[in-house]
A and B are shown apart, each in its own frame.
Chain A
Amino acid sequence: MDEYDEMYGIEDDFEQQFADELEVMAEMDREHPPGVKVSEFRSKKPISQTFEEAIVSGDVPLRKSVNNQHPESISPPVCEEEESLTPKPKKRRQDVVKKLQFGVENCDDITPPSSPEVYDRPARDGPGFSLSLSPDRSAATKITTNVLDISGLTALQKSPKQVTTARHAQKRPPAIGDYITVTDSMGNRVYLNKKEDKEKAPDPRAFRNSLNGLGLLAVPIEVLKEQIAERRHRQVLEESQRLTELMNSGISPELLAEEQKDSGVDGDSGEDEGLSSRLWVDQFSPQHYTDLLSDDFTNRCLLKWLKLWDTVVFGRERKPRSTPADVRSNFTNAQNQNQSQRFKTKSQMTEEILEAELDQYKRPKFKVALLSGPPGLGKTTLAHIIAKHAGYNVVEINASDDRSAELFQKRIDTATQMKSVLGANEKPNCLIIDEIDGAPAAAINILLATLNRKDSREGEESGGNALKKRKKKQSVLLRPIICICNDLYVPALRPLRQQAFLLTFPQTLPSRLAQRLAEITRRHGMKADTGTLMALCEKTDNDIRACINTLQFLHSRGQKHLDQRSVNSISVGLKDQNKGLFSVWQEIFQLPRLKRKRIGGDSFGGFDEAGPKDGTQRLQHILHLVSSNGEHEKLTQGLYDNFLSMKLKDPGMLGVCAGLDWMCFSDLLNECVLHGQNYSLMRYFPFLPAAFHHLYAANSVPRINYPHSNYEAFTKTQHTKNALLAMLNDIPPAVQSRISISCLCLDILSLLLDLISPKLRPVNPQLYSTREKQQLYDLIDTMINYNLTYRQDRTPEGQYTYVLEPNVEDVVHFPGLPPRRQLTYQVKQLIARETELERMRRVERAQQKRNSQKTETVKKDQEGKKTEVKKQTNRNHQQRLENIVKQTVVESRPELDFFGRAIVPKEKPAVTTTSEDGKGGGVVHIGKAVGNSDVWFRFNEGVSNAVRRNVYIRELL
């Protein structure tokens, strides 16, 4: 009865989860009448291989598919081992229970354990591990009650060993010795004597398995023994195989097959030798929708989206879908419904997208599906399978193709507009663009343009001629496109993201993955328990590809038995696995957390940080981590910025000193590498983080800040240097030749700044005494010589201040020290003004000096000429010019005296008389000389010899 209820519960769940999927599949499967399916579930007796059955019995089709590849393996009947792999957990548990030889009456009372792992192991490993529950060890069972989660003592009491337990149970606490208090569900309390049980010396293995207490050996003795036994077994097998091969060299294949079947595990592996060249990933890649390992919801959504295209691609009409509420109402499981409403909001949104109306061309609203997720989850596989499943011919473009804009355009067009007419695969194309995040932005833009291409003359289509119509029709995208990317947030994808049906891949469920892995290992004759496979999943972050590749790798190395140790020790080749800087820093500064110990497994992840072996392992780990990260410089900066904020426990600061020494070493190394291009030294870089890890790693979670100090220091240096250079540039060369930047910065500036802030009375400089004036003059002289001045600046508050320009005050001001004495605003203003004035004066003086020199030379020249000229004849222009000069000098004289009366210049006649021609008067003389010379010059302007004619507009018109 109970059992039936459980089964019913499973079905309930199933119906709830897969309702949509079933619906869609039913649509696809046209022959199948849609109404039958529910009843078929109920009957629980599948007659034929339908989808429903396939889903119910999980891996059956997979097995079938694999069987298709190797038909020999069909022949063995479904053995017990295979049965245990079917995804019917409840049933399996029952098997286990039966195997454990509990009485039939116990069956109902034992509630299934919360974690299947506990039971999976015994189930797989058979009687060896089932010992832990064997009846003769009932005392041990009692101790591990919590672990095994067996509720209710009554069951135990009913068990065949009840008698022995009853003997030790007492109603009162025993007077001597240890005891355990046990209360059953009825409220009866008994006291169990512990001492006596110990005398029984239970199987030590049980203790170790259940408690993991006595881990003196790194690898438990059982495992070692097992390994030795296995090795021996393998040797024997190899020997026998060699023999069989020798014998079978001439024997028919049927016989061989039979023999292989007889040899069991060995036969399987022998058969696989031929296939060893093939990657397991390919070999076991899912062939059908039902084989997919990825999240069901994602699969379903993508499939549904693809089905939306059916109308336009295949011309099928969409069936109106019954509302999900109807389906659910059949199963009035209130709790489940609540749960679904609470958690399915996002998925409901996605489904709403899928429910949305088709557009005018009967295409779905989103023309592109964009799958994103970390590598190895089967995105590409999913896309291929679903496209194939929906009846498309898959055309794939991936990163290895040329993806320049033109080629991309061409490929899109060929894929979406053409269709193979000849040949068997007369299916429409479905374009899959893999790793689109690596495509250039131009290519993505082309894709977008293709999506948005509109049939502009849609309205005229009915009236337009046929040829035009066909042409127009071709230009609209009528085929689905599926894009796949790892990183959804690449800038180039931004425009596409808005127009695409986004599907993010969640992590594969480890249990599902482990199950699949178990099947693979079984097929290849490898022994691996679920715990190991789970560890492998965890190690690869549920990366299907990495898991399978690792398995193959181990298999090819001849490891037939997989245990946790080998999984932990192997370095798994992962694709695209980069850890961010922050996580690297965190791992450097944090000790690895204690891993939870698995039952029966040797905890290998390090449980004692003091252990030397663990230390080396951590060292290796950090080295690997850092060298794979590669950003050494940034990493080092982060270490430098953060290591002092770690919790240091050395009062002598020895650790800090050591760390700084390491820093110096790393710096030298870096210099050596960069200066000498000696890159072979680069391999020593990762040792700095490793050393830091050993020096500073702590258990607590470190708070890590992004390193800014380097950048800040750099900008500050730059700023200072600029100020100093600006100052140095305009210092007069006489001074400049004696100072350099360093000497200015280290020796002069701090003193200079004191020098240029003397005590000055804040009064008008006119009122200064001569001494004060001299002081002011000296100050200004100094400032000019060092190219300093004050500049008025407006503070953000709106106040005006005078700051030194260039501002070298910051250069010699140490943080923490009190600021040096500042001059008052008025004094600074005064100094700034005076400096400016003095500067102008100096410039003027310098100019004058230069000019006077020039004029002197000019004068000399003129005089020389004059004498020369006078020897010959009087040059007329010279006379004239002299006259002009004299005249103007005369005329420009002030004519008014102090009282405003006109003054008759007395010198004027004298000047005119001194001129050469004397009586003629200046004006007459000049006129004669310049204006009335005998010869004059008439300038001929350019003459055009072109014919000029008046042309009116009306003639042109």
Chain B
Amino acid sequence: MVYKCLLEMVFGVFCSKAGEGPAEWLLVELQGEMVSRQNTGLAGNLMGDLHYTKEGVPVLVVGHHILYGKQVKLEKPFAVLMKHSGLPQDEEENMETNQENPTSYTVSALIKKKLIFKTRPKPIITNVPKKV
């Protein structure tokens, strides 16, 4: 019998370093999903903290969960492209300027690595019983 695990992926992209040339981002892959508590949506909220242990194991702390993952090199690197189109003010102009002002793409970032968190998260216990 074959079980196939379906991974629901949530992509998070982090900017690791800013420098000259395109920035390098990281892909974050989670087995699970991020849920907002008050149904307010995820946008703008702090997701959690990402750390690395000394051995280089990525640790993600989300809510009261702590996740251990690993860093994997992508087989095919991704590039994050930004599309620049000749802004269409009018239809005609657009038709006219189509030739001389073509849409262009700029590479804003490269993604060569990803972090996979697929193990079951461990809870961070806050409510310590007073007497053991």
Contact = CB atoms under 8 A, between A and B. Distances in A.
Interface of A: 875-877, 880, 884, 887-888, 891, 923, 926-927, 929-946
A936 B49 contact: no
A935 B62 CA distance: 7
Contact of A940 (B1, B33, B40, B65): B33
A938 B32 contact: yes
A932 B128 contact: no
A945 B7 CA distance: 12
B15 to A, nearest CB: 14
B37 to A, nearest CB: 5
B37 A932 contact: yes
Interface of B is mostly: loop
Given A926-B126, A940-B31, A943-B6, A934 B49 contact: no
10 contacts: A875-B49, A880-B124, A880-B126, A927-B126, A937-B30, A937-B33, A937-B34, A938-B34, A942-B6, A944-B1
Contacts of A934: 36-38, 40, 45-46
B48 to A, nearest CB: 7
Nearest to B38: A934
A933 B35 contact: no
Interface of B: 1-8, 30-38, 40, 42, 45-49, 61-65, 67, 120-121, 124, 126-128, 130
Contact of B65 (A887, A888, A936, A941): A936
A937 B130 contact: no
A887 B37 CA distance: 26
A944 B35 contact: no
A929 B49 CA distance: 13
Among B37, B40, B63, B130, max chain A CB count under 10 A is at B63
B22 to A, nearest CB: 24
Contact of B32 (A880, A887, A891, A939): A939
Contact of A938 (B33, B46, B130): B33
A936 B63 contact: yes
Nearest to A861: B54
Contact of A877 (B5, B31, B49): B49
Contacts of B1: 944, 946
B36 A930 contact: no
Contacts, number: 100
Nearest to A869: B49
A935 B3 contact: no
Nearest to A922: B126
Nearest to B2: A946
Contacts of A935: 34-37, 42, 45-48, 62-63
Given A884-B126, A891-B128, A938-B33, A933 B63 contact: yes
A942 B121 CA distance: 14
B123 to A, nearest CB: 9
A944 B47 CA distance: 29
A61 B33 CA distance: 116
A1 B7 CA distance: 130
A866 to B, nearest CB: 14
Interface of A is mostly: mixed
Contact of A930 (B33, B40, B42, B63): B63
A937 B130 CA distance: 27
A95 to B, nearest CB: 111
Contacts of A946: 1-3
A936 B62 contact: yes
Nearest to A939: B32
A671 B38 CA distance: 93
| A-B residue pairs, 6 tightest by C-beta | A936-B63, A942-B5, A937-B62, A939-B32, A944-B3, A930-B64
Contacts of B7: 940
Contacts of B130: 891
Contacts of A939: 31-32, 65, 120-121
A891 B132 CA distance: 11
Contacts of A943: 3-6
A926 B4 CA distance: 38
A911 to B, nearest CB: 15
B130 to A, nearest CB: 5
Contacts of A938: 32-35
A945 B3 CA distance: 6
B114 to A, nearest CB: 17
Nearest to A944: B3
A888 B128 contact: yes
Contacts of A931: 63-64, 126
Contacts of A936: 34-35, 37, 62-65
Contacts of A945: 3-4, 6
A940 B33 CA distance: 7
A931 B64 CA distance: 6
A841 B48 CA distance: 45
Nearest to B40: A934
B64 A933 contact: yes
Contacts of A888: 128
Given A936-B62, A945-B4, 15 more contacts: A891-B128, A891-B130, A930-B64, A930-B124, A934-B46, A935-B48, A936-B34, A936-B35, A937-B62, A937-B67, A939-B31, A940-B6, A940-B33, A941-B120, A946-B3
A887 B38 CA distance: 28
Nearest to A875: B49
A929 B46 CA distance: 12
Nearest to B47: A935
Among B35, B36, B127, max chain A CB count under 10 A is at B127
A942 B2 CA distance: 12
A877 to B, nearest CB: 5
B120 A942 contact: no
B126 A937 contact: no
A937 B35 contact: yes
Among B1, B6, B120, B126, max chain A CB count under 10 A is at B126
Contacts of A880: 124, 126
